[in-house]
Amino acid sequence: MVGLRLTRNNRITRRPEYALCYSRGRRFFTRGFVVFALARPGEPFRAGMAVSRKIGKAVTRNRLKRLLREFFRVHLKDMPPGVDVVVVPKRRLEVDSLNLAAVERELLPLMRTLAARLDSATDSSAPGAEQPRAMARKGRGSGQGHGRK
């Protein structure tokens, strides 16, 4: 089909781009995912995913990544322009019973309201607007750790 490709322009591909989304973006929570979103006015929508080894073995992680890529590919035309989105599955997510319809039920409503929520967060006059927070690393370089003996 024409127009249903998730091209390189619509993917977050580099580590600094992920780091920027984590540090300056807003966090949104669903039942099974944490979604980091960063406004980038004038740019196309871009999606990325970070699936930890805590989710399961490679087969499970790859299946989840395929489902997420398919979700973004099918719904690319519905995604808000000028937004970078990184989807991180929660550890308790039941990947074995997950299908595209379940991913759509969980992420599509959030994606549809994402642009409005990001605009209200960048407007400092909006009452109760949550400001993005940088995620600090704890316990790094302090000499205390879980080293091997």
Give CA torsion, residues 111, 113, 116, 119, to 10 deg. Answer: -40
Q: Answer whether residue 37 is part of any domain.
A: yes
Q: Which residue has the tokens 């039920």?
A: 105
Residue 94: its pLDDT value, please?
87
Which is nearest to 109 in space by CA: 28, 9, 22? 28
Confidence at 95, pLDDT banded by 50, 70, 90:
confident
Bridge partners of 89? 33
Q: Answer whether residue 1 is part of any domain.
A: no
* More confident: 126 or 11: 11
Return the CA Rg of the chain: 17
Q: Answer whether residue 58 is part of any domain.
A: yes
Confidence at 121, pLDDT banded by 50, 70, 90:
low
Q: Is the pLDDT of residue 3 over 80?
A: no
Q: Is the pLDDT of residue 120 over 80?
A: no
Q: Answer whether residue 145 is part of any domain.
A: no
Q: Answer whether residue 3 is part of any domain.
A: no
Bridge partners of 38? 84
Residue 92: its pLDDT value, please?
85
Helix axis angle, 100-122 to 58-74, nearest 10°? 60
Q: What pTM does this model have?
A: 0.74
Residue 123: its pLDDT value, please?
53
Report pLDDT digits (tens) over 17-59: 999 999 999 999 999 999 999 998 888 899 999 999 999 899 9
Q: Answer whether residue 16 is part of any domain.
A: yes
DSSP helix/strand/coil, 96: coil
* More confident: 119 or 70: 70
Residue 49 lies in domain: 8-118
Residue 4: its pLDDT value, please?
73
Confidence at 128, pLDDT banded by 50, 70, 90:
very low
Q: Is the pLDDT of residue 131 over 50?
A: no
Could you give the CA distance from residue 142 to residue 149 in angstroms, rounded to a whole number? 18
Token pair of 102 as six digits: 């379940």
Q: CATH no. for residue 79? A: 3.30.230.10
Q: Answer whether residue 132 is part of any domain.
A: no
Check if the beta carbon of residue 39 is closer than 8 Å to that of residue 83. Answer: yes
Q: Domain total for the chain?
A: 1
